[in-house]
Amino acid sequence: MNKAIQLPQWRVLVVEDDPLVQLGLEQALANYSELTVVGLADDGYLAIEAILEKRPNLVLMDIGLPGLDGVTVTQRVKEKLPDLKIVILTSHTSDEEVFAALSSGADAYCIKGGEIELLLTAIAAVSQGSLYLDVKIARTILQEIRSTPTPKLDRPLTEREFDVLRLLVEGLNNSEIAGRLYISPNTVKSHMRGLMGKLAVSDRVQVAVKALRAGLV
């Protein structure tokens, strides 16, 4: 493993209906002592049950699942466990599916078939509170963002909120934003609450997604 990738000590649940992909992920993750696979699920409904029972720190979530799709599962479990990190790992690449997954609360979007280091990078990123997009879809997402008209907010963002928003979209966590702007982490949290209120979303990932899609940064 790339020594620069700092992995958290996390319990991982894999939600995937292809048994070969399940096995491949389980075997690949077994090489990293920081990540412990605590369960597997191959159905959307079973995934929700497993997540609520096993309480993992991280879920690797496919989109095309029997029963409930991965986007719906993500939305439902995020309502109950907002601190749970969910990395979408799928072959689906349409704009609608990407934005739906991120809007549902997913913390990262990865495409199947990539090197394990890319998945580990995504895990490390979300552990620091950052949003991660696979490079295979980033260009498409940026094109969509640029073609979307900027909405009129009921309450415009302050200059400092824009500063925090730009750094959030760059992938910085609250402590890093505080250091860059020479303000306290509590002040960053206050600005983040203001951003969530003005953008009508419930978490920092959705702040980044909505801001990007609306062309605010």
Show which of 144, 166, 200 is a domain's final residue: 144
92 and 120 assigned to the same domain = yes
Q: Nearest Cα to 192, choosing from 213, 170, 179, 177? A: 177
202: domain range? 149-214
91 and 175 assigned to the same domain = no
In CATH, what number is assigned to the domain containing residue 166? Answer: 1.10.10.10
In sequence order, what DSSP letters do the residues of 120-138 get, joined into one string? Answer: HHHHHHHHTT--EE-HHHH
If the chain, 217 residues long, is cut into consecutive pieces of 10 residues, what is the mean pLDDT of each piece?
A: 76 95 94 95 96 96 92 91 93 80 86 90 89 78 59 80 86 84 92 89 78 72
Residue 69, classed as helix, strand or coil, is coil
Show which of 117, 144, 171 is a domain's final residue: 144
Rounded Cα distance, 42 and 87, in Å: 16
Q: What is the dihedral of CA 161, 184, 190, 211, to 10 degrees?
A: 30
Tell the burial category of 159 from Cβ atoms under 10 Å away from its Cβ (0-12, 13-18, 19+): exposed
The total domain count for the chain is 2
99 and 162 assigned to the same domain = no
- Residue corresponding to tokens 């649940």: 13
Show which of 122, 144, 166 is a domain's final residue: 144
193 and 129 assigned to the same domain = no
135 and 189 assigned to the same domain = no
pTM, 2 dp: 0.70
